[in-house]
């Protein structure tokens, strides 16, 4: 029997789906408390566990001498910065790919809300004021025919591109570090652009400025790594059109927040939709709260009732692969940082 430990909360029905993968698996759930993702899980181990499903593995890996594979609840691994598991030979896989639908829809929502001046409308409603110059104050931008630049053409970026292309006839520009256009990670059926057929043009990191300059909407959907931290700073924000909008659903540290505040205050760009920030929760004194050309969300873009069902499907497939000795989906490349 292979011992599998889960430290996230799954329903009994979801646990049964995992147990149905194989009678060779002994699956046990010992859940951390709600809203306690950083809790050390070392006390949950008996010593025979080969597989761990978690958000944060134990820092003392001696409690898990037989551990061979960790499946993360998250798509990113930035919470593992400095963690000893990165220096081990334990396989690490992420939940990348399950977020494409919810965050893809959220991204489109942000784009539409910014284009239709929804932040100003909400502030008008809160103030109880009917503006005199409503036609100029709320004149909208149509998405149809505009250009979407996707910084990080992974599963989320591909789903946003699919919606943008098919629903709004948008031109799609894609930036990726990979030399291949196909998505090598997990993808749900009929979601996204797994073969990379949708972009009208492709760019690498050296072409970022050119892509930004052509975009009417910019989506930040790249993983946070040493190479992407601070990737969008003052120079990049100034390269974006003054009529363009930026949406960040990736990680806050990819954008220089100080430069972004200036860009929004001084109208270098038309607006921003942000679900992630350099410091979370966003400090009460952050100037972002007061800007009428920004929409802020508290890092909830992936949160729908279907998250755990999707991640159970992914984990079940990886359990089957683990038992067969096949390569796991979403295997982390430690050199790339994701």
Q: Which residues are catalytic?
A: 251, 280, 299
C-alpha distance from residue 128 to each of 119, 132, 136, 247, 267 (Å): 14, 13, 19, 28, 26
* Number of C-beta neighbours around residue 327 at 10 A: 10
- Sheet strands (E) in the chain: 2-6, 25-29, 49-54, 69-72, 91-93, 147-151, 171-175, 201-203, 217-220, 245-248, 271-274, 294-296
Q: How far apart are CA 190 and CA 172, in angstroms?
A: 19
Q: How far apart are CA 25 and CA 334, in angstroms?
A: 28
- Which tokens go with 158? 């591909």
Q: How far apart are CA 9 and CA 15, in angstroms?
A: 10
- Which tokens go with 33? 């408390």
- Rama region for 294: left / alpha / beta (φ>0; ψ in -120 to 50; rest): beta
- Which tokens go with 274? 């942000």
Q: How far apart are CA 307 and CA 266, in angstroms?
A: 38
- Which tokens go with 97? 């790919």
- Which tokens go with 307? 């998250």
Q: How far apart are CA 124 and CA 237, in angstroms?
A: 28
Q: How far apart are CA 123 and CA 133, in angstroms?
A: 15
321 Cα distance to chain centroid: 25
């Amino acid at each position: 029997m292979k011992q599998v430990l889960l430290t996230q909360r799954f329903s009994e029905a979801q646990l049964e789906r995992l147990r149905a993968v194989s009678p060779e698996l002994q699956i046990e759930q010992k859940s951390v408390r709600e809203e306690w993702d950083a809790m050390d899980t070392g006390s949950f181990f008996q010593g025979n566990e080969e597989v761990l499903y978690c958000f944060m593995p134990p820092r003392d890996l001696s409690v898990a001498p037989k551990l061979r594979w960790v499946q993360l609840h998250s798509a990113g691994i930035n919470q593992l910065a400095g963690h000893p598991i990165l220096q081990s030979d334990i396989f690490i896989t992420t939940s990348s790919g399950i977020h494409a639908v919810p965050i893809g829809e959220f991204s489109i929502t942000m784009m539409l809300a910014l284009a239709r001046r929804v932040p100003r409308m909400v502030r008008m409603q809160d103030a109880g004021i009917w503006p005199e110059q409503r036609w100029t104050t709320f004149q909208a931008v149509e998405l149809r025919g505009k250009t979407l630049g996707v910084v990080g053409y992974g599963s989320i970026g591909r789903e946003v591109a699919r919606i943008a292309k098919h629903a709004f006839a948008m031109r799609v520009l894609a930036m990726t570090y990979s030399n291949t256009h196909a998505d090598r990670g997990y993808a749900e059926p009929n979601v996204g652009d797994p073969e990379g057929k949708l972009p009208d043009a492709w760019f690498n990191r050296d072409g970022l400025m050119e892509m930004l300059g052509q975009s009417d909407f910019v989506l930040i959907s790249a993983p946070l790594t040493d190479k992407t931290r601070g990737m969008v700073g003052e120079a990049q924000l100034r390269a974006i059109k003054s009529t363009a909008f930026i949406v960040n659903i990736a990680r806050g540290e990819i954008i220089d927040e100080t430069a972004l505040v200036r860009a929004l205050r001084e109208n270098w760009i038309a607006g921003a939709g942000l679900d992630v920030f350099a410091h979370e929760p966003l400090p009460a004194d952050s100037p972002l709260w007061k800007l009428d050309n920004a929409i802020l969300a508290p890092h909830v873009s992936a949160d729908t009732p279907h998250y755990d069902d999707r991640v159970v499907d992914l984990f079940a497939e990886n359990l089957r692969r683990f038992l067969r000795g096949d390569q796991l989906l979403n295997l982390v490349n430690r050199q790339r940082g994701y």
